């Protein structure tokens, strides 16, 4: 066998390797050319032992070249065949990714809870702490200490549920403001709290009323707290809730426990203040009541009104939720219809 023979043999082998259609055929080719026993290129190794000198060196080089060429071709072809095997196998694993999905079984947050959480987070960022208080209150904390003595006309807006069977006169709090009182009685200024929670008023259910609903009360008392601080706080908070570009308007109002008293409106989301059917032509939507804590309220809970001042506010997350998410009937908020809740 000469070097030329080996070269020809290698060329044939390369052709056969290229023509091998699967790993078995490839193995067959490998065996025929490279098997230690019977491989036709391997047989050249036996010839090497028989020649000497220059001839041996030339034959050795030819042998190595042929073996290397065939080995490399085998490896390359094997890799190719492996890859196409994977291609074929994977091709059979095709999925229809457009197939409608069975939704992940995740729970949904109640929209009112979501609003309350957002309000909490906004105020937490301003250094407020959320506190909780009893939902069953007495007249003293719900009314009297808030400057609403018996028969005060301002109680007209607070139609109250009273508990039966007790001379104590327990009532379901009509607002979260009693927690202002409890907080101030229990501590020393400065105070900076919000009070999210349930309240109840004796209103027949209708699209804008539920007898039980939520309120978030806020209180900030310190030296030198001003109406301008109240304004800045409300503008920031309402901007966070309704979008920074929504205009906020403060207007004078009356609450027995604040003086001055102010209500905050945001511009109607539909007409931006011009007046439309959605806002009953007012252009503005009432969002919350607020004011500077009345000096008599401060004095009654042992906070010196000559040294301290502060503001308080109360907002209705139910109403805010209805406005933000276009829910027309607040009664739906407590039905827990999954079709509504799954939107959150």
Partner 1 sequence: MRVSHEWLGSMVDLEGVSPKEVERLLTISGTEVERVTRFAAGLEPLVLGEVVEFKRLDGSDHLFLAQVRGSEPEPVEVVCGAPNLFVGALVPWARPGTRLPSGLEIGRRRIRGVQSEGMLCAPDELGLGADHDGVFTLRPGEGEPGQPLRELFPEDTVYELEILSNRGDCLSHLGVATELAAMLDRPVHPGDMTPVDATGEPIAQSVEVRIAVRELCPIYTACAFTAIPQLPAPLEVRRRLMAVGQRSLGVVVDLANYVMLDVGQPLHTFDLDRIQGEDGRVVIEVRPGRQRETMLGLDQQERSLAPSDLVIAANGKAAAIAGLLGSWDSSVTPKTTQLLLESANFQWTSIRGTSRRLGLRTEASARFERFLSPHLVPMGTRRFARLLHDHLGVSPRPGLLTAGELPPPAEPIRISASRISALLGMEVTAGESRSALERLGFTVALEGEDLVASPPTVRTDLSQPVDLVEEVGRIIGYDRLPATLPALRRPPAGPSANATQRLAGEILMGAGYTEAITLSLFDPGRPRPVSGLGDGVEAQRIANPLSGALEGLRVSLLPGLLGSCQLNQARGAERTRLFEQGRVFWTSGKDGRPQEPELLAAVDQGVDFQASDSAAALRHLLRVCQALGDRLSADSTKFMAAVRPGFHPVRCAEVVSRGEVRGVVGELDPRSCAALGLRGRVVACELRVDGWLLPGGRPGSGRELAQTPPLIMDLAVSVPEEAPLGEAVAAVGGIGLAELEAVRVLDEYRGAQLANGLKGWTFRLVFRDPNRTLTSQQGVDLRDRVARVLADVSGARVR
Residue 212 has which token pair? Answer: 């039980």
**Shortest separation between residue 98's beta carbon and partner 1, angstroms:** 24
Region at 150 (left for phi over 0; alpha for psi -120 to 50; beta for the rest)? beta
Please identify, using beta-carbon distances, which residue of 60 and 273 lies nearer to partner 1: 273
Residue of 143, 170, 242, 313 that binds partner 1 (CB under 8 A): 170
Residue of 222, 269, 276, 325 that binds partner 1 (CB under 8 A): 222
Please identify, using beta-carbon distances, which residue of 48 and 212 lies nearer to partner 1: 212
Identify which range of 4-12, 60-68, 93-101, 229-237 contacts partner 1 by CB under 8 A.
Answer: 229-237
Residue 15 interacts with partner 1 (CB under 8 A): yes or no: no
Residue 336 interacts with partner 1 (CB under 8 A): yes or no: yes
Number of residues that bind partner 1 (CB under 8 A): 89
196 within 8 A of 120, measured Cβ to Cβ: yes
Identify which range of 2-10, 65-73, 87-95, 109-117 contacts partner 1 by CB under 8 A.
Answer: 109-117
Please identify, using beta-carbon distances, which residue of 8 and 136 lies nearer to partner 1: 136
277 within 8 A of 193, measured Cβ to Cβ: no
221 within 8 A of 293, measured Cβ to Cβ: yes
Residues in region 267-306 near partner 1 by CB under 8 A: 280-282, 292, 294-296
C-alpha R_g of the chain: 42
Please identify, using beta-carbon distances, which residue of 17 and 330 lies nearer to partner 1: 330
Residues in region 202-221 near partner 1 by CB under 8 A: 202, 204, 210-212, 220
DSSP assignment of 271-331 equals TTTS--TTTTT-SEEEEEEEEEEPHHHHHHTT--TTT-EEEEEEE-HHHHHHHHHT-S-GG
Identify which range of 13-21, 31-39, 71-79, 248-256 contacts partner 1 by CB under 8 A.
Answer: 248-256
Give the residue from 253, 263, 255, 313 showing the smallest Cα distance to 284. Answer: 263
Q: Cβ atoms within 10 A of the Cβ of 236, count? A: 15
Bridge-based pairing of strands 248-255 and 136-137 is unpaired
Residue of 26, 130, 279, 315 that binds partner 1 (CB under 8 A): 130
φ, ψ at 294 (rounded to 5°)? -65, 135
Residue of 105, 244, 245, 326 that binds partner 1 (CB under 8 A): 105
Site string for partner 1, 175-204 (x = CB under 8 A): ---------------x-xx--x-x-x-x-x
Identify which range of 15-23, 32-40, 46-54, 260-268 contacts partner 1 by CB under 8 A.
Answer: 260-268
Residues in region 137-156 near partner 1 by CB under 8 A: 151, 153-154, 156
Burial class (CB in 10 A: 0-12, 13-18, 19+), 49: exposed
The residues, any chain, with a CB within 8 Å of residue 128's CB and separated by 6 or more, are: 192, 193, 194, 218, 220
**Shortest separation between residue 326's beta carbon and partner 1, angstroms:** 19
């Amino acid at each position: 066998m000469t070097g030329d023979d080996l070269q020809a043999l290698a060329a044939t082998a390369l052709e056969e390797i290229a023509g091998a259609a699967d790993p078995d055929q490839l193995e067959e080719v490998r065996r025929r050319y490279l098997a230690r026993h019977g491989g036709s290129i391997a047989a050249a190794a036996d010839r090497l032992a028989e020649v000497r000198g220059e001839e041996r060196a030339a034959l050795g080089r030819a042998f190595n070249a042929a073996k290397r060429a065939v080995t490399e071709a085998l490896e390359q072809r094997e890799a190719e065949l492996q890859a196409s095997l994977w291609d074929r196998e994977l091709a059979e694993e095709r999925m229809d990714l457009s197939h409608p999905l069975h939704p992940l079984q995740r729970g949904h947050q109640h929209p009112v809870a979501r609003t309350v959480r957002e309000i909490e987070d906004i105020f937490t960022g301003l250094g407020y702490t959320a506190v909780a208080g009893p939902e069953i209150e007495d007249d003293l904390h719900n009314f009297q200490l808030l400057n609403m003595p018996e028969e005060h006309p301002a109680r007209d807006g607070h139609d109250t549920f009273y508990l039966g069977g007790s001379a104590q006169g327990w009532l379901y709090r009509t607002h979260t403001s009693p927690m202002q009182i409890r907080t101030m009685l229990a501590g020393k200024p400065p105070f900076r709290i919000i009070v999210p929670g349930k309240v109840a008023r004796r209103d027949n259910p209708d699209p804008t009323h539920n007898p039980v609903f939520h309120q978030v009360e806020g209180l900030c008392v310190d030296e030198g707290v001003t109406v301008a601080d109240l304004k800045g706080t409300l503008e920031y908070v309402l901007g966070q809730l309704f979008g920074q570009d929504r205009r906020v308007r403060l207007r004078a109002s009356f609450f027995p426990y604040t003086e001055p008293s102010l209500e905050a409106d945001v511009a109607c989301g539909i007409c931006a203040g011009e007046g439309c059917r959605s806002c009953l032509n007012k252009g503005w939507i009432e969002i919350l009541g607020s004011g500077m804590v009345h000096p008599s309220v401060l004095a009654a809970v042992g906070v010196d009104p000559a040294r301290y001042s502060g503001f308080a506010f109360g907002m209705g997350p139910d109403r805010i939720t209805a406005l933000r998410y276009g829910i027309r009937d607040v009664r739906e908020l407590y039905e827990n219809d999954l079709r509504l809740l799954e939107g959150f």
